[in-house]
């Protein structure tokens, strides 16, 4: 698998993600580049029915187009009351090109259509007047693909919480304002970056991936 001194391609154009991965792999002596720095990778259609499948599709396509080992992630929100939806459709829950506001509005509509939430859900301390609608979790799958051998390393992380009926906080994106974390008494959009990195699904998946690489 990848070794110090080699280059790892991150299958993203998101500079924030690239910065996070670059910092993580620096300790291994691995140089990190993303799709903004390595031309020739076409748009990749995510056709998998799981986060891991989509991550593999992206990692393999980027790797085969460039000849470099590639790392890709796929993540989303899974809501118990909706049978795991929106899941792999999290980014386009309200339709292709839908923004965060539209996706959040659809999520609340779908939960409202179910009627009263389960009686065993806790009271959301720290969110006066709000109530919780369902247990939920953010899930992230990371796949590192090595083109020379076809070897794959898969790591997954999850952040457990609840969906609140009231948005709170301005520091996050996506479904963060609706995702209530009982250990903080706040939403994911209302905690610090350091707190989010510590408990986030992507942070957990990345730490597990690095552990697996060190054991190879």
- Active-site residues, by number, are 74
16 is in an annotated binding site: yes
Is 17 labelled as part of a ligand binding site? yes
Rg value, the chain, Cα = 18
Residue 15 annotated as binding? yes
Question: 45 among the known binding-site residues?
Answer: yes
The answer to the question of whether 80 is labelled as a binding residue is no
Upper half-sphere CA count for residue 102 (Cβ side, 13 Å): 9
Complete DSSP assignment for 144-160 = EEETTTTEEEEEEEEEE
Q: What are the DSSP calls for the chain, one per residue? A: ---TT-EEEES---HHHHHHHHHHHHTTT-EEEETTTS--PPP-----SSHHHHHHHHHHHHHHHHSS-EEEEEEEEEEGGGTT-BGGGGGGTTSTT--HHHHHHHHHHHHHTT-SPPTTPPP-TTSTT--EEEEEEEEEEEEEEETTTTEEEEEEEEEEEEEESS---SS--TTGGGEEETTTTEEGGGS-HHHHHHH-HHHHHHHHHHHHHHH-
175 is an annotated ligand-binding site residue:
yes
Is there a binding annotation on residue 202?
yes
| Structural contact between residues 188 and 124, judged by C-beta atoms closer than 8 angstroms | no
Residue 60 assigned to a binding site: no
Any binding-site annotation on 123?
A: no
Q: Is residue 12 a known part of a binding site?
A: yes
Ligand-binding annotation for 198, yes or no, is no
Q: Is there a binding annotation on residue 51?
A: no
Residues forming the annotated binding site for Mg(2+)?
Answer: 45, 74
Residues forming the annotated binding site for substrate?
Answer: 12-17, 75, 173-176, 196, 201-202
Residues forming the annotated binding site?
Answer: 12-17, 45, 74-75, 173-176, 196, 201-202
């Amino acid at each position: 698998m990848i070794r110090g001194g080699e280059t790892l391609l991150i299958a993203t154009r998101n500079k924030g993600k690239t910065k996070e991965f670059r910092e993580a792999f620096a300790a291994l002596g691995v140089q990190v580049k993303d799709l903004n720095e390595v031309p020739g990778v076409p748009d990749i259609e995510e056709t998998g029915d799981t986060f891991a499948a989509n991550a593999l599709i992206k990692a393999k396509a980027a790797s085969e187009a460039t000849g470099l080992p590639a790392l890709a992630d796929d993540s989303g929100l899974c809501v118990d009351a909706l049978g795991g939806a929106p899941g792999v459709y999290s980014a386009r829950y309200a339709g292709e090109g839908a923004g965060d506001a539209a996706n959040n509005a659809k999520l609340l509509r779908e939960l409202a259509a179910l009627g009263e939430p389960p009686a065993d859900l806790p009271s959301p301390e720290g969110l006066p007047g709000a109530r919780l609608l369902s247990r939920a979790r953010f899930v992230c799958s990371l796949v590192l693909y090595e083109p020379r051998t076809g070897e794959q390393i898969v790591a997954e992380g999850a952040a457990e919480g609840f969906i609140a009926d009231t948005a709170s906080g301005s520091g996050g994106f996506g479904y963060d304002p609706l995702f209530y974390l009982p250990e903080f008494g706040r939403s994911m959009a209302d905690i610090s970056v350091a707190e989010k990195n510590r408990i986030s699904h992507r942070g957990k998946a990345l730490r597990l991936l690095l552990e697996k690489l060190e054991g190879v």
